[in-house]
Each structure stands twice: as structure tokens, then as C-alpha cells.
């Protein structure tokens, strides 16, 4: 029986994490839940986030019976992970800002954290920084308008519009003279390439996809793939190209995986979500 791996986010932000793992391991079943009814999480209180995440995850488990759930949302992880683990008897993998690797490779010991308002202000993040980046200056930046733009408009916008949205954030990190920027909101993985173009070469962007995929494989005890994966380097292709590669078997040319994409609410935006799911080779499968 194939293992089922579930990914959860307030919206589309967790898709790059699903694609990254599907690229390594195409024979798992992949299911995805976007809690669009409650998007955005980043400007809500901890109490509210806890309540909505616990409820959505309960329905997601009932519907899909996953073997592992990836909370592919930094905000939800930072606020709810211990509560999820206490309530549901299932392995959870959280997504937290990759501050630790950034601090260890930063040369000038100045790093940027680009995340949601909740993630940059939460005590969890303060602890993460003091534990793993105590020797660095960490500059945090949040802008809920960018998160909403990515969720609702980016895929129908041109490059100029996307750059205009990102310019203040890019300038902030450039002015602070950081040499690494951590993408601490999963939505920002979609703007990785645009951000990279706005940065001078010395600023490198870091995210947590690799660590998260490795952790899922460890939990599933797929030690073989895990070992092979350690030898791979992340290829410099776009998320979309990777999605296309992974949804088709290169030998037979046939579709190898019907990943399923769910929403928590039907809205005027449903067609937009359907199009995005399709773009990333995930089959829109309804409301949970």
C-alpha cells in the first residue's frame, strides 16, 4: 500500500513543499488542504489560529487518513504544532524558518527573515534565533499584502507587478547588508526567483524544503531514498518545471500520480484555485 502524505497550509503556500517531495518520491499518494476559508493566518491571534488549524486538521485526517501530515505553513507550525501532536495520534512534520542553516553559513553574520507578522513576532521565533543564531544580527520583515497578493493575484500578474510588490522587502534586506535571507513563509517560495533577481549576487535565499522532505522520508523509514536524496543537489529549475517533471513517468510517459487538492470553503475564487492546482499537477478534489 502506498503511503499517503498530507500537506496543509492556509492557502497555496505549501504546494512547493509537496512538489519537492513528489519530485523525490513520486509513488506516495499526495493530498493537500488549503484552508482558504480562514486565509490569511499571519495577521490572526495565536488563539484563533490554534482553533481553526485544529479543526481543519481533524476534518483532513478523517477524509484522507494520511500516514504523515506536513504543516506546510510556518505560522501554523509556530503556533500549533505541540497541540496537534497532543490531539492527533499521527506523525506531524512542521515547517519552521531555516534560521539555523542560514546562521551557520552566513559569512558576515547578518541574516534576514522574511515571514508573516505572526511568525516574526512570535516567541517561538525569538527562541529559534537565540538558540541557533545567537551570533548573528537577524533582520525581520513582514508584509501581509505580499502574502495576499501571492495567494490571490500573483498567478495572473505580470513580472513588473510582482517586482513592484517585492521591491520594498528587497530594499530592506539590501540596506541591512544581510548575506542570507530566510523565506519563513511558505507562500514566498513562489517568489524566490523574482526576489533573487532583485538581490545582488551576494545575498542567498534559503528555505526549508529539503529538511522537511528528508524528515518525512525518515518518518516513513524510507532510508534508501533518504540516503540517495542526501547526495542530490537541488536543481535550479522553477517550481512549475519540477511539478511537470514529477507528475509524469519519464519512461512510460503516463501519469504516475493523482495528487489531490482540497479547499475548506467554496468561494468566488474557486476557479482560480482549480487553475493553480492544475498548473502544479494536483487534482482539484473538492471541499473538506
CB of 150 to ligand DGL, least distance (A): 9
C-alpha 199/C-alpha 201 separation (Å) is 6
Task: Provide the 10 A C-beta neighbour count for residue 186.
Answer: 33
In the bound state with ligand DGL, the residue whose beta carbon lies nearer, of 112 and 257, is: 112
Q: Which listed residue (73, 136, 226, 235) is catalytic?
A: 73
In the bound state with ligand DGL, the residue whose beta carbon lies nearer, of 113 and 260, is: 113
CB of 6 to ligand DGL, least distance (A): 16
Q: How far is CA 188 from the centre of its chain?
A: 8
C-alpha cell, 205 = 535565499
CB of 158 to ligand DGL, least distance (A): 23
Cβ neighbourhood burial of 233 (10 Å; 0-12, 13-18, 19+): exposed
Coil, helix or strand for 158? coil
In the bound state with ligand DGL, the residue whose beta carbon lies nearer, of 116 and 264, is: 116
235 given a catalytic annotation: no
Find out whether 139 and 110 touch, Cβ atoms under 8 Å. yes
Residues found near ligand DGL in the complex (CB under 6 A): 9-11, 13, 39-42, 73-75, 116, 119, 147, 185-187
Residue from 36, 31, 35 nearest 68 by CA: 31
Residue nearest to ligand DGL (CB): 42
CA torsion angle 19 259 77 38 (round to 10): 120
Cβ neighbourhood burial of 61 (10 Å; 0-12, 13-18, 19+): middle
In the bound state with ligand DGL, the residue whose beta carbon lies nearer, of 51 and 222, is: 51
185 given a catalytic annotation: yes
CB of 275 to ligand DGL, least distance (A): 19
CB of 51 to ligand DGL, least distance (A): 15
In the bound state with ligand DGL, the residue whose beta carbon lies nearer, of 5 and 185, is: 185
Q: Which residues are designated catalytic? A: 73, 185
Amino acid at each position: 500500500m502506498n503511503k499517503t502524505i498530507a500537506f496543509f497550509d492556509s492557502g497555496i503556500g505549501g504546494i512547493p513543499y509537496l512538489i519537492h517531495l513528489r519530485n523525490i518520491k513520486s509513488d506516495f499518494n499526495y493530498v493537500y488542504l488549503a484552508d482558504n476559508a480562514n486565509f490569511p493566518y499571519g495577521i490572526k491571534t495565536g488563539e484563533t489560529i490554534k482553533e481553526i488549524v485544529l479543526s481543519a486538521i481533524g476534518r483532513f485526517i478523517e477524509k484522507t487518513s494520511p500516514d504523515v501530515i506536513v504543516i506546510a505553513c510556518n505560522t501554523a507550525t509556530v503556533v500549533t504544532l505541540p497541540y496537534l501532536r497532543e490531539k492527533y495520534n499521527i506523525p506531524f512534520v512542521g515547517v519552521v524558518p531555516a534560521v539555523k542553516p542560514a546562521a551557520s553559513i552566513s559569512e558576515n553574520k547578518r541574516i534576514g527573515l522574511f515571514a508573516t507578522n505572526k511568525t516574526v513576532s512570535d516567541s517561538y521565533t525569538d527562541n529559534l534565533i537565540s538558540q541557533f543564531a545567537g551570533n548573528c544580527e537577524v533582520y525581520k520583515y513582514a508584509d501581509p499584502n505580499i502574502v495576499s497578493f501571492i495567494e490571490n493575484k500573483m498567478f495572473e500578474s505580470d513580472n513588473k507587478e510582482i517586482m513592484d510588490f517585492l521591491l520594498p522587502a528587497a530594499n530592506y534586506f539590501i540596506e541591512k547588508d544581510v548575506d542570507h535571507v530566510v523565506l519563513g513563509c511558505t507562500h514566498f517560495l513562489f517568489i524566490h526567483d523574482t526576489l533573487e533577481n532583485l538581490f545582488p549576487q551576494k545575498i542567498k535565499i534559503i528555505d526549508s524544503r529539503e529538511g522537511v522532505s528528508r524528515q518525512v522520508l525518515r518518518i516513513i523509514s524510507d532510508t534508501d531514498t533518504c540516503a540517495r536524496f542526501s547526495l542530490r543537489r537541488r536543481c535550479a529549475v522553477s517550481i512549475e518545471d519540477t511539478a511537470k517533471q514529477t507528475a509524469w513517468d519519464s519512461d512510460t510517459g503516463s501519469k504516475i500520480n493523482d495528487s489531490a487538492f482540497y479547499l475548506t470553503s467554496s468561494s468566488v475564487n474557486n476557479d482560480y484555485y482549480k487553475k493553480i492546482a492544475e498548473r502544479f499537477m494536483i487534482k482539484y478534489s473538492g471541499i473538506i
